[in-house]
Chains A and B, each alone.
Chain A
Amino acid sequence: MSADEVAPVPERRRTVRNEPAGLGRNLASLEVVICCGSGGVGKTTVSAALGLAIAAAEDKRVLVLTVDPARRLATALGIKGIGAEPVRIPKARLRRAGIAMTGELEAAMLDMKQAWDRMIERYAPDRATARRILSNPLYQRITDSFVGSHEYAAIEALYELHDAGEYDCIVVDTPPSRNALDFLEAPSRLTDYVGSRLLSLLSGGPSRFGFRAMNFAAAPFLRLADRLLGAEVLAEVSDFVRQLQSLYDGIQGRARSVYRLLRSPQTGFVVVTTLEQGPFGEAEFFCAKLREFKMPLRAVVVNRVLPDVFRDTGGVAAATTLVEDPKVAAWLSSELGARVSADVARFVGTTFLNRSTLAAREARQLSKLSRLGEVPIVRMPLFSEEVSELEGLVRIAKAL
């Protein structure tokens, strides 16, 4: 099958709805849910919790695909480890953690090397070319170093999994990236890279006589490159890019198919952010880009929001008095009938005021949420315990 031909998606399993709730229900009709956001906002946890919420709400087979090699997701899901092969989360374990599952939940971690190797094998015109590329020293490093290589591998793996039709819904935890836009641009960037005329120039293009004979204008570059790098390097690079170019048609076709999937109504983007300036600014930018690319934003999850109690005006007034009134300790000692030190009173007030300052700042950011788009916005409270086990994840899934 050529890459331009998109295989028909197998008919998915019939679903039985069961006590749908919140965002899980809203997203349950989708086949692909892509969680995006800048690093450190809790994207992996939200992705896992979303998978859990969807599989709890409906009789669906849900896969959470993470690219994060940290053991956190495995720990949170109560399993020993996650590899490239999907692992099923036992229903009994989930029940014990407090959630009854209607569907099934599986988790897998992206194997970068494998995803790249499979791509080369798929698009190479023949096995010999594939072998040459796979054994090229430049290729060995490209999977780690190519701009957006993680993003491309993630999107490639997603497309393959969706195409296979084994899952009703795939939730993707996108790669940690300061610029989440890399994820959207990965397919076109790779196409541009492999198909660029520059590559033709380096690889010798259609000329059987190669680079030097083909383009007289490139002579200064060639001389400079020889002087800089040594002639061997240019020859190696040239050889490598010539091989890569044979993949162009396949990669271009796949990029088109991937964009069709990303823009389709079966796909939904969920932007995860905190209310800190940096991540929030990136979320705003990312939502705007989704609109520009005509990709469907379905929800925004605002993570780690301080509880409303820190905006309580009475609490703020009481805390301020404890911090600022020099006589308050003496008054309290007299009124409460026990000695109260000024330091202790100040500490109790300060711990609250510090958080209320942050909460006030968050409130100002919350008022800007509508800028992100007219979609459901879910606020996740800052839990006072870390999500390091299944019970914590279940609590978040229920909050979603």
Chain B
Amino acid sequence: MTAALSLLAARAGKRVLAIDVDAKGDLAAALGSPPAGFAPHVVQHNLSVLELRTDESFQEYLNIYFKVPRLTRLTPLARVFDFIATGVPGPRDMLVVGKIAYEERRKEPGSGSPVWDLILVDCAAGGQVESHLSAPKAMLTLVRGGIIRAQVEWIAALIRDPLRTCVVLCALPEEMPVTEAIELHERLRNGSGVAVDVCVLNRAVDEPVTTAHRRLMTELIDPEHADVVAQHLGGSPAPLDAGLDLQAHLYDTTARYARQLRSKLPMPVVAVPFIMDRTGLTTTRAVADALSSRLS
């Protein structure tokens, strides 16, 4: 979904940076690119992607703000930094948010205009995104002085500003993801205070099986015509009944969970149909097209 939204924004002329927090290469692959690495990597006009890694984030942070030279992992000092970054709660999550905030603030050297119009972040799983977004708030209770406090205050304000930051919830039409999306919204609202603007129900099955479809199926397998129908169609149509049953079930399930989301979430719920292709740029384009038609 992050990749599809990135494509849509790039098509609309925005300069887009897509960030993969899990750094597993999924986002780059969905944009038809090899694994991107820590620096923004151009995947097409107006669209770049980068993958976050905590240790590199921390070193870059020190390098940017405090001119501390980049360190190899082997130096004792680097290991101390690693410890702080990954062991002590708060800073680890802050680094993720801090890197994103840094990219948000970056300016073109010549014109001074922002490098990116829009940054889209493919977040970690539900529990982690919550701790990422609430990290600045938590850090403010921990860091009462020092240079970092000013940075953290700025990042905390960025997260809470609904004109600059919003969350797009994503769910599948299944019990667990829907429950998690509703609970995550509740926790985000009470925790980080970030705006949650829209919920996307992905892999929705939105075409119902009608009586006309069922009637045709019954006729196709009616013993009176079965042989001649099978001969004309090149095979027995009997198995097609299973396709209709599954479609009907998935349609009902989608409708039920869409209703549940709409009743529990104070925001638009956009259903995006299930695209059958493999993960990759083709699928991302198809999802982007579907999303575009739904959003418009």
Report whether A351 and B66 are in contact in the complex, using a CB–CB cutoff of 8 Å: no
Nearest CB to that of B149 among chain A residues?
A230
Q: Contacting B253 at CB < 8 Å: which of A236, A319, A353, A386?
A: A386
Which A residue sits closest to B135, measured CB to CB?
A145
For residue A99, CB closer than 8 A to chain B, the reply is no
Which partner residue on chain A sits nearest B131 by CB separation? A145
Beta-carbon contact of A348 and B243 below 8 Å = yes
Residues in A whose Cβ lies below 8 Å from that of B145: 229-233
Is the CB–CB distance between A335 and B66 below 8 Å?
no
Interface pair B246/A71, CB less than 8 Å apart = no
Binds A, one of B8-16, B106-114, B194-202, B224-232: B224-232
For B296, list chain A residues within 8 Å (CB). none
B49-82 interface mask toward A, CB cutoff 8 Å, 1 = contact, 0 = none?
0000000000000100010100000001101111
CA A227 to CA B145, docked complex, whole Å: 9
- Complex contact A354–B219 (CB within 8 A): no
C-alpha spacing A352/B209, complex, angstroms: 12
Contact between A176 and B216, CB atoms less than 8 A apart: no
Alpha-carbon separation in the docked complex, A225 to B212 (Å):
72
- Is the Cβ of B249 less than 8 Å from the Cβ of A384? yes
Evaluate whether A138 and B229 lie within 8 angstroms (CB atoms) in the complex, with A232-B144, A317-B234, A386-B253 already known.
no
Interface string of B237-249 (1 = CB under 8 A from A): 1111011111101
> B243 contacts A385, CB within 8 Å?
no
Is B87 close to A, CB under 8 A? Answer: yes
Return chain B residues, CB-CB under 8 Å to A83: none
B117 at the interface (CB under 8 A from A): no
Is the Cβ of A228 less than 8 Å from the Cβ of B240?
no
Contact with A along B130-173 (1 / 0, CB 8 A): 01000000100111111111000000000000000000000010
Interface residues on B, range: 35 or more
Mask: chain B, 197-211; 1 = CB below 8 Å from A; 0 = not: 000000000010110
- CB of A159 within 8 A of chain B? no
- The answer to whether B235 and A313 have CB atoms under 8 Å apart is yes
Contact A178:B125 (CB < 8 A) given known A229-B146, A230-B145, A318-B234: yes
Q: Return chain B residues, CB-CB under 8 Å to A315.
A: 235-240
Q: Are A71 and B179 interface neighbours, CB within 8 A?
A: yes
A5 to B145 CA separation, bound complex (whole angstroms):
46
Stretch from B31-39, B89-97, B261-269, B286-294 forming part of the interface with A: B89-97
Instruction: Check: B295 CB closer than 8 A to any chain A CB.
Output: no
On whether the beta carbons of B213 and A347 are closer than 8 Å, the reply is yes
B20: min CB distance to chain A, Å: 12
A366 CB within 8 Å of chain B: no
Q: Smallest CB–CB gap between A242 and chain B, Å?
A: 14
Report A77 CB to chain B, min CB distance, Å. 14
Evaluate contact between B242 and A309: CB separation under 8 angstroms.
yes
Which positions 293-352 of chain A face chain B at CB distance < 8 Å? 307, 309-310, 312-322, 328, 331-332, 335-336, 338, 340-341, 344-345, 347-349, 351-352
Is A352 touching B147 in the complex (CB atoms < 8 A)? no
Q: Which residue of B lies closest to A147 (CB)?
A: B86
Chain A residues within 8 Å of B129, by CB: none
Is B148 touching A229 in the complex (CB atoms < 8 A)?
yes
Q: Could you tell me if A72 and B179 are in contact, using CB atoms closer than 8 angstroms?
A: yes
- CB nearest to A69 among chain B residues: B183
B276 adjacent to A357 (CB under 8 Å): yes
Q: Which of A176, A315, A384 has the most CB of B within 10 A?
A: A315
Q: Are A221 and B144 in contact (CB under 8 A)?
A: no
* Cβ 8 A contact of B249, one of A39, A221, A229, A385: A385
Cβ of A224 within 8 Å of any chain B Cβ, yes or no, is: yes
A67 to B241, CA, bound (A): 39
**Could you say which residues of chain A place their CB within 8 Å of the CB of B89?**
138, 141-142, 144-146
Question: Please, which residues of chain B bring their CB within 8 A of the CB of A312?
Answer: 235-236, 239
Which residues in B have their C-beta under 8 angstroms from that of A345? 216
CA distance A256 to B220 in the complex (A): 65
Cβ A347 vs Cβ B236 within 8 A: no
Is A7 among interface residues, defined by CB-CB distance under 8 A?
no
Query: What is the CA–CA distance of A361 and B279 in the complex, to the nearest angstrom?
Result: 12
A355 and B243 CA atoms in complex are apart in Å by 7
Do A358 and B276 contact each other (CB < 8 Å), given the known contacts A141-B138, A230-B145?
A: yes
Determine if B103 is an interface residue (Cβ-Cβ < 8 Å): no
Pairwise interchain contact B216-A340, C-beta atoms closer than 8 A: yes
Q: Complex Cα distance A146/B92, Å? A: 9
Q: Are A348 and B240 in contact (CB under 8 A)?
A: yes
Within the assembled complex, what's the spacing in Å between the Cα atoms of A317 and B240? 11
A202 touches B83 (CB 8 A): yes
Known: A228-B66, A348-B243, A351-B246. A318 touches B217 (CB 8 A): no
Q: Which residues of B contact A221 (CB under 8 A)?
A: 77, 80-81
Give A229 to B150 CA distance when docked, in angstroms. 10
Q: Which residues of A contact B177 (CB under 8 A)?
A: 40
**Min CB gap B65→A, angstroms:** 9
The A128-164 residues at the B interface (CB cut-off 8 A) are 137-138, 141-142, 144-147
Tell me, yes or no, whether A237 is within 8 Å of chain B by CB: yes
Q: Check: A278 CB closer than 8 A to any chain B CB.
A: yes
Q: Which residue from chain A places its CB closest to the CB of B81 in the assembled complex?
A: A221
* Cβ contact of A347, chosen from B144, B207, B237, B246, cutoff 8 A: B207
CB of B233 within 8 A of CB of A233, answer no
Counting CB contacts under 8 A, is A92 at the interface?
A: no
Report the minimal beta-carbon distance from B109 to chain A, rounded to whole angstroms.
26
Shortest beta-carbon contacts, A-B, top 6:
A314-B235, A230-B145, A315-B239, A145-B89, A352-B243, A317-B235
A residues apposed to B, CB below 8 Å: 39-40, 44, 70-72, 137-138, 141-142, 144-147, 176-178, 193, 196, 198-199, 201-202, 217-218, 220-221, 224-233, 236-237, 277-278, 307, 309-310, 312-322, 328, 331-332, 335-336, 338, 340-341, 344-345, 347-349, 351-358, 361, 382, 384-386, 388
Residues of B whose CB lies within 8 Å of any CB of A are 22, 24, 26, 62, 66, 68, 76-77, 79-84, 86-90, 92-93, 124-125, 131, 138, 141-149, 172, 174-177, 179-180, 207, 209-210, 212-213, 215-217, 219-220, 222, 225, 228-230, 232-240, 242-247, 249, 253, 276, 278-279
8 contacts between A and B (CB under 8 A): A137-B141, A145-B89, A178-B125, A229-B146, A230-B149, A233-B142, A237-B84, A321-B234
